[in-house]
Amino acid sequence: MNIAWVIVALLFIVFIQGMIYSKWGLKGITYKREFKQQTVFEGETIEMVDQITNRKLLPIPWIRLESKISHHLAGTTEKDKGTEEVFHRSLFSLLPYQKITRRHQLIATKRGYYPLDTVSVTTGDAIGFGESFDSIQASTAVTVYPQVVSVDEIPLPSHSWLGDITVKRWIIEDPFLYAGVREYQAGDPLNAINWKATARSQTMQINKKDYTADHHLMIYVNFDSNEDIRLPIEKPEVIEKALSYAASLAAYTIEQGIATGFGCNGYFVEPFTNTLERIKPSVRVEPSNSRSQLEYILDTIAKVKIDRSRNFRAFLEEDLEEEIRDTDIIIFTQQISEKVEQKIYQLEQLNNAVEIVLLDQLTGEAGEAYAS
């Protein structure tokens, strides 16, 4: 009889504690998740921090957190079949009013923008009598910049090409910028004479003009392997290589003080594009050599989706409609169609210089340079 009462008491306790954890187990549980670095380069390590707090007297024997995260953030496991996501799981045990911080070391293996939103939370009693489920909003994101390589690894049209671009920056005189006066030389225009300086020095003096960067550089990546945008992109790894080259070249030219921009016929990943638009806008960053320009270009390339908003012919047509001039353009591409060649010719008629780097579709490596 005593054993029977013990069993009944134990069953009652199990039932009561199960009810308690079912009703209050998730009460007072707060969760925060963040990446310590908001931006990293491809191949670098990212630290993701989980912080969970039990804000009540009731201890939690176990609590499980589950969320989906891209498998391109290495260190995660259990890839979800048919997707590019994996389940990231953490298991905790919490005392009353305890806060636990756990750090996870991940490796960014691919360029991209990786947002994390909700976390699935499961808890229950120590015996496993019942479980409670909920989801917690824990939004955070990390942007992975493309790999930046040495400029020597970029298959540019010729060794002198970058030098020519740099020289252009300094050989164009700006009539509105002055750098003092100098002595008159044969061939100098008479309207450049500074009469006040001439009177003071008793020798003919003219205004010395400063130089400005009228020429700009635009770096384009052509996503086309064919002109029909309804067809999937072939060899996306070639496009990824081209984007890496574009980022690397931009890093070098901006460091040299060259106003540099970027463009491609892709579009931004969600939520940076409006899916309600029938045709998404192409990606363009206007040329600049400001301190923030490189970061802006890297961020733009990181958030580009490997898909097309339009074919490259239509992309170049936008430049023609804007009548861009005095711009050096380099295009990383898998192929050049006759229609694209026609657009390039039209751009050259507007005093633009266009250089093309053909990328080998089979190996993903850069092929020969092609001068239009």
For residues 232 and 355, membership in a common domain is answered with: yes
Query: Is residue 115 scored above 70 in pLDDT?
Result: yes
d(CA 347, CA 355): 12
- Whose CA is closest to 218, among 174, 261, 173, 257? 261
For residues 33 and 86, membership in a common domain is answered with: yes
pLDDT at 270: 76
Q: CB under 8 Å to 111, separation ≥6 — which residues?
A: 42, 144, 145, 146, 147, 240, 243, 244, 301, 302
Show which of 191, 211, 231 is a domain's final residue: 211
d(CA 50, CA 364): 38
Q: Is residue 254 part of a domain?
A: yes
pLDDT at 361: 45
For residues 87 and 156, membership in a common domain is answered with: no
- Largest separation between any pair of C-alpha atoms in the chain: 127
Q: Is residue 104 part of a domain?
A: yes
pLDDT at 371: 47
Place 263 in a pLDDT band, splitting at 50, 70 and 90: very high
CA 225 to chain centre: 23
Q: Which residue has the higher pLDDT, 172 or 23?
A: 23
**Which structural domain range is residue 102 located in?**
28-145
Q: Which helix (H) or strand (E) holds 346?
A: helix 338-348
CA 253 to chain centre: 18
**pLDDT of 241-252, one tens digit each?**
999 999 999 999
pLDDT at 158: 67
For residues 58 and 107, membership in a common domain is answered with: yes
- E strands present in the chain: 29-35, 39-41, 45-54, 60-70, 73-74, 77-79, 85-94, 99-108, 112-124, 131-145, 173-183, 205-211, 216-221, 260-264, 267-268, 283-288, 304-305, 327-333, 353-359, 366-371
Place 235 in a pLDDT band, splitting at 50, 70 and 90: confident
The number of folded domains in the chain is 3
Q: What is the percent of the chain with per-residue pLDDT over 70, rounded to a whole number?
A: 74
Q: Is residue 243 part of a domain?
A: yes
For residues 95 and 158, membership in a common domain is answered with: no
Query: Is residue 161 scored above 60 in pLDDT?
Result: yes
For residues 217 and 207, membership in a common domain is answered with: no
Place 210 in a pLDDT band, splitting at 50, 70 and 90: very low
**pLDDT of 282-333, one tens digit each?**
999 999 988 899 999 999 999 999 999 999 999 999 999 999 988 999 999 9
d(CA 348, CA 318): 15
3-state secondary structure of 223: coil
For residues 187 and 234, membership in a common domain is answered with: no
d(CA 170, CA 352): 17
Q: Is residue 23 part of a domain?
A: no
pLDDT at 166: 63
For residues 92 and 204, membership in a common domain is answered with: no
For residues 161 and 53, membership in a common domain is answered with: no
Average pLDDT over residues 58-82: 76
Per-residue CA distances from 289 to 146, 167, 170, 293, 332 (Å): 20, 16, 14, 6, 21
For residues 250 and 125, membership in a common domain is answered with: no
For residues 357 and 268, membership in a common domain is answered with: yes
Q: How far apart are the first and last CA of the chain?
A: 99
Q: Is residue 15 part of a domain?
A: no
pLDDT at 362: 40
Q: Is residue 5 part of a domain?
A: no
Q: Is residue 7 part of a domain?
A: no
Torsion sign over Cα 82, 83, 84, 90: negative
Average pLDDT over residues 173-188: 56
**pLDDT of 333-359, one tens digit each?**
998 899 999 999 999 999 899 999 998
Which among 69-83, 212-226, 335-349 has the top mean pLDDT? 335-349
- Mean per-residue pLDDT over the chain, rounded: 81
Query: Is residue 171 scored above 50 in pLDDT?
Result: no
For residues 224 and 345, membership in a common domain is answered with: yes
Average pLDDT over residues 207-229: 76
Are residues 359 and 332 in contact, defined by beta-carbon separation less than 8 angstroms?
Answer: yes
Q: Which residue has the higher pLDDT, 298 or 194?
A: 298
pTM: 0.78
> Which CATH number characterizes residue 91's domain?
2.60.40.1530
Show which of 189, 211, 233 is a domain's final residue: 211
Q: Which residues pair with 264 in a beta bridge?
A: 221, 283
pLDDT at 175: 47
Q: Is residue 12 part of a domain?
A: no
Cis-peptide into 287, omega within 30 deg: no
Place 34 in a pLDDT band, splitting at 50, 70 and 90: very high
pLDDT at 365: 47
Q: What is the percent of the chain with per-residue pLDDT over 90, rounded to a whole number?
A: 44
Place 191 in a pLDDT band, splitting at 50, 70 and 90: low
